């Protein structure tokens, strides 16, 4: 059998240096990957590389902003519905005052303000803003009127009435 000769110092040194370089390379790659996938930033050749977590956070912030916008729209819609419910309550109050005027006077007033002057309704309701339109009272036929129309508009509608223009009269809160 042949006897093996111990390797020379040159080849052992090359193996050690190679092993160290491989370990350093693995550590650098691991560190780079850690920095990329953590909340840190890595500068590579003068360029900042944001971590993917920051990109995910940015995407989440965009989703939250769109949800906030949707919530804001829901709040606006709820406010509009509340104004519409107030409008319907106002129209009912005016209709009641007009009915009292008709019951006592035998006719409907020439101007809606007459129900305030005669004490049937204090104060005269006004359209809640924004949205809607001023309430428009129109006596129908020759004066003294025996009928009237009371026009109003709803922004989004209520449970009973849809959005849009409506006309109340002695017979009904709304038509069409």
Taking only the tens of pLDDT, the chain with its 176 residues reads: 555 555 556 788 888 888 888 888 888 787 777 776 765 444 444 544 444 444 445 545 555 554 444 555 677 688 999 999 999 999 999 999 999 999 999 999 999 999 999 999 999 999 998 877 899 999 998 889 999 999 999 999 888 889 999 999 999 887 66
pTM: predicted TM-score of the whole model, two decimal places: 0.58
Query: In the prediction, which pLDDT does 172 show?
Result: 87
Query: In the prediction, which pLDDT does 72 show?
Result: 57
Q: What is the DSSP letter of 42?
A: E
Query: In the prediction, which pLDDT does 24 show?
Result: 83
| Residue pair 140/134 in contact by the 8 Å Cβ criterion | no
User: Which run of H or E residues covers position 139?
Assistant: strand 136-140
What are residue 136's phi and psi, to 5 degrees?
Answer: -120, 115
Omega before residue 14 within 30° of 0, cis: no
Q: Which of 109, 115, 175, 102 is closest to 139 using CA atoms?
A: 109
Query: What is the rounded distance in angstroms from the CA atom of residue 131 to the CA atom of residue 127?
Result: 8
Q: Which of 150, 53, 57, 50 is closest to 99 using CA atoms?
A: 150
List of residues 6+ apart from 131 with CB closer than 8 A: 80, 83, 153, 155
Query: In the prediction, which pLDDT does 125 show?
Result: 93
Residues forming beta bridges with residue 166, ordered by sequence position: 152
């Amino acid at each position: 059998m042949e006897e093996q000769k111990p390797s020379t110092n040159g080849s052992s040194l090359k193996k050690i240096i190679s092993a160290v370089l491989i370990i350093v390379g693995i550590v650098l790659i691991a560190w780079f990957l850690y920095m990329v996938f953590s909340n840190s930033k890595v500068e590579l050749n003068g360029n900042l590389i944001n971590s993917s977590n920051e990109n995910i956070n940015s995407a989440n912030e965009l989703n939250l902003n769109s949800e906030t916008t949707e919530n804001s729209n829901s709040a606006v819609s709820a406010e509009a519905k509340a104004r519409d419910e107030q409008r319907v309550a106002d129209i009912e109050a005016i209709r009641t005052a007009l009915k009292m005027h008709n019951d006592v006077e035998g006719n409907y007033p020439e101007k809606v303000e007459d129900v305030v002057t005669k004490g049937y309704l204090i104060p005269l309701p006004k359209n809640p803003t924004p949205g809607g339109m001023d309430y428009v009272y129109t006596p129908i036929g020759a004066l003294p009127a025996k009928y009237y129309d009371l026009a109003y508009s709803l922004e989004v509608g209520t449970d009973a009435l849809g959005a849009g223009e409506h006309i109340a009269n002695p017979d009904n809160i709304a038509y069409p």
